[in-house]
Amino acid sequence: MLWLIILLLGVTACVFYRVRRRKLYEIYAQLQVRATCYPVIGHTYLMKNSDGDGTVWFKSLGRLAIENGGVISAWIVNKLYLVVADPDTSEVILKNCMEKGYVTQFIRTMIGNGSIFAAVDIWRPRRKVLAPVFSMKNLNEFVKVFDKQSMIMADLLEPMAGGADFSVWRYFNTYTFDSVCETTLGIDLNSQKNPEHKFLIAFDFVSQELAKRMVSPWMYPEFIYQLMPRYKQFDYHRKVIHDFVDEIIKIKLQQLSTCPKGDNTDINGTEKTFLDMMIQSSDRQEKKYSDLELREELMVIVMAGTDTSAVGASFAAVMLSRHPQVQEKLHHELDDVFGNSDRALTVEDLPNLKYLEAVIKETLRLYPPVPLTAREVTNDVKLPSGITVVNGVSVVLDIWAMHHNPTFWGADTEQFQPERFLEGPLKHPLQFQPFSLPMRNCLGYNYAMMSMKTMLANMLRRYRILPPSHMNERELKEPLKVTFDVMMRHIDNYEVRLEKRIK
C-alpha cells in the first residue's frame, strides 16, 4: 500500500515537472537559436571564450538574436535562457521582472543585502529610500566636488604632457573613487595623490577579486571559495572596508544625535553627503535603517559608482584620441564656454556642454561599461512578439547587442559618431540603454553623466589626447579590443598620449 502511494506521488510530481518543462520546450521551440543543442550541455559551449576575450559569447549570441528578430532562446545545461537584443522586448522584461540572476549572488558576500543585487522583497523598500537621495537638487551640489577632484587630476597629468604612452586608468579611477567617497561619505581620501590609502588598496583588491570570481565559475559556490587560500585575503580586505565605513557611520550618527540638522550643510558646515541624505530618507520610512543597512547601501553606491564611470570616461578618452576631428569640435565647444579662463566649472556650465555629452553617450553606446544585465522570470509575461514566457526562464538583456543593432543604428553602427545624439530623436526611444530601463535601472545615471562631463571637460580644457605612438593608421581604425568580467574593459588598458594645448 505504502509503495503504491509513493508511486502515485512520484508519478504526479513527474507529470507536474513535465508540464512545466513542456512550457519551457514550447518557448524554446519558438525562439530557438540556430546552433546545435547537445545532450546534457545544451548550448553551453557557445559561452566559451576565445583567446581570453570574455566578450565573444554575448556578442555572438546577441548577433544571433538580432538575426532572429531580436530574441533567441538557448539551453545553458538545463536552464532555458532568453537573449534579448530588441528594445521593446527589453522594456517588457525589465518592467515585469525584478529578480536578478544567480550569477551575481556572490557579489552579496561584499554588499550583503545591498539593494543592487538583493532579492525583490528586500530591494523594493530599499529602492524607496535610495531613489530620493539621487534628486537633481542633491546632485547639483556635488559638481563642486567633481570640479575640485578633477582639477587635482588635471594637475597630476601635467608631467605626462608631451611624454610617452601611458594609461589613463589610474588617474580616472582614483578621480572617481575620491569623488564618490567624498560625495557619499564626506571624506576626502585623496587617493589620487596618496594611492597607499588602506581603503583604496582594500577596495581595489576586492573589486579585482570579484571580477576574477565572475569569470571562474568553479569559484561560485561559497563553500568551495571559502576553502581556497585566497579567501583569507578577501576576508581581510572586506573587513578593512566594512570597519572603515562603519566608523564613518558611527561618527555621523553621533554628530547628528548631538546637533540639530542644518539645511544643506551638515554640522561641520560641509556639504551634505549621500550618507546624510540616506539617514534622512530612511527616517521618513516606516522603519529607520540599522547601521548594517546604512553600510550596505553606502557600499552599493561606492561599488556601483566607481569603476563604471571610470570605465566610461576612459573609453571616451581613447575614442577621442582616435578621432581628432571629434576632439577638435569638442575643444571648440570648451573654448566657447570657458574661453581662456581657468575658472572653476560650475553646474550652470553642464547644459552648455552638449557636444561633450554626445561624445560620452556615443562612447557608452559602442562600449557600454555594463554590457549586459540579467533577470529571472517569476510570473507569466507576454512579450511584444506574442510569446508568453513563464516562471523558470532566465533572461540576459544584451545591452551590447542593442547598441550595435543595425536595425536601429543603421549600416554605420560600428562608426563613432557623436552627432547621432544631436540630430533629433533616435529612431526608437529605448535603443540606447547603458543604464538599463525601469523598474530596476541605474539610479546613478545623472550623477555619472555629471561626473564624467566635469572631469573630461577639465582635462580637455588643458590637454589634447593623442593615440599611443606604437599604433599605425590601420590599427587605429579598428574597433577597440575589449574584455569582460563584471564590466567591459579595454585590453590595452586605455593607453594614450597627452599634449598640452596652447591657447
Q: Which of 174, 436, 454, 458 binds ligand HEM (CB under 6 A)?
A: 436
CA angle (453, 458, 462) in 5-degree steps: 140
> In the range 357-376, which residues lie near ligand HEM by CB under 6 A?
369-370, 373
* 2, amino acid identity: L
Q: How many whole angstroms separate alpha carbon 34 and alpha carbon 67? A: 10
Instruction: Provide the H-helix boundaries in 134-273.
Output: 136-157, 169-185, 198-214, 222-225, 229-258
Please identify, using beta-carbon distances, which residue of 318 and 448 lies nearer to ligand HEM: 448
> In the range 115-174, which residues lie near ligand NAG by CB under 6 A?
122
Tell me if 104 contacts ligand NAG by CB under 6 A.
no
CB of 439 to ligand HEM, least distance (A): 8
Q: For residues 103, 492, 370 and 34, what is the CA-based torsion angle, rounded to 10 degrees?
A: -70
Tell me if 179 contacts ligand HEM by CB under 6 A.
no
Q: Which of 54, 434, 467, 468 binds ligand HEM (CB under 6 A)?
A: 434
- Residue 113's binding partner out of ligand HEM, ligand NAG, none, with CB under 5 to 8 Å set by partner kind: ligand NAG
| Contact region with ligand NAG (CB under 6 A), list: 8-16, 108-116, 249-257, 298-306 | 108-116
Tell me if 112 contacts ligand NAG by CB under 6 A.
yes
CA angle (454, 346, 455) in 5-degree steps: 10
> In the range 125-164, which residues lie near ligand HEM by CB under 6 A?
127
| Contact region with ligand NAG (CB under 6 A), list: 107-115, 182-190, 401-409, 414-422 | 107-115
Grid cell 507576454 is found at 382
CB of 295 to ligand NAG, least distance (A): 11
CB of 222 to ligand NAG, least distance (A): 11
Contacting residues for 183 by C-beta, under 8 A, at least 6 apart: 142, 145, 273, 274, 447
- Residue 436's binding partner out of ligand HEM, ligand NAG, none, with CB under 5 to 8 Å set by partner kind: ligand HEM
| Contact region with ligand NAG (CB under 6 A), list: 29-37, 105-113, 306-314, 451-459 | 105-113
CB of 130 to ligand NAG, least distance (A): 16
151-164 in b/e form (b: 16+ CB < 10 A) is bbbbeebeebeeee
> In the range 447-486, which residues lie near ligand HEM by CB under 6 A?
447-448
- Whether 174 and 455 have beta carbons less than 8 Å apart is answered as no
- Residue 309's binding partner out of ligand NAG, ligand HEM, none, with CB under 5 to 8 Å set by partner kind: ligand HEM
Q: How many whole angstroms separate alpha carbon 222 and alpha carbon 315? A: 34
CB of 291 to ligand NAG, least distance (A): 13
Contacting residues for 253 by C-beta, under 8 A, at least 6 apart: 279, 291
CA angle (261, 443, 194) in 5-degree steps: 70
Cell triple for residue 66? 538580432
Question: Distances in Å between the alpha carbon of 190 and those of 153, 178, 187, 447?
Answer: 11, 6, 9, 20
CB of 351 to ligand NAG, least distance (A): 41
Tell me if 304 contacts ligand HEM by CB under 6 A.
yes
> In the bound complex, which residue of the shown chain has the CB atom lying closest to ligand HEM?
444
Q: How many whole angstroms separate alpha carbon 204 and alpha carbon 164? A: 26
| Contact region with ligand HEM (CB under 6 A), list: 66-74, 82-90, 429-437, 463-471 | 429-437
Q: Which of 32, 68, 113, 378 binds ligand NAG (CB under 6 A)?
A: 113
CB of 120 to ligand NAG, least distance (A): 12
Other CB atoms within 10 Å distance of the CB of residue 111: 21
How many residues make contact with ligand NAG (CB under 6 A)?
Answer: 4
Q: How many whole angstroms separate alpha carbon 364 and alpha carbon 420? A: 13
Q: What are phi and psi of 411, to 5 degrees?
A: -65, -25
Query: For binding to ligand HEM (CB under 6 A), which residues are involved?
Result: 115-116, 127, 300-301, 304-305, 308-309, 312, 369-370, 373, 434-436, 440-444, 447-448
Residues that bind ligand NAG (CB under 6 A): 108, 112-113, 122
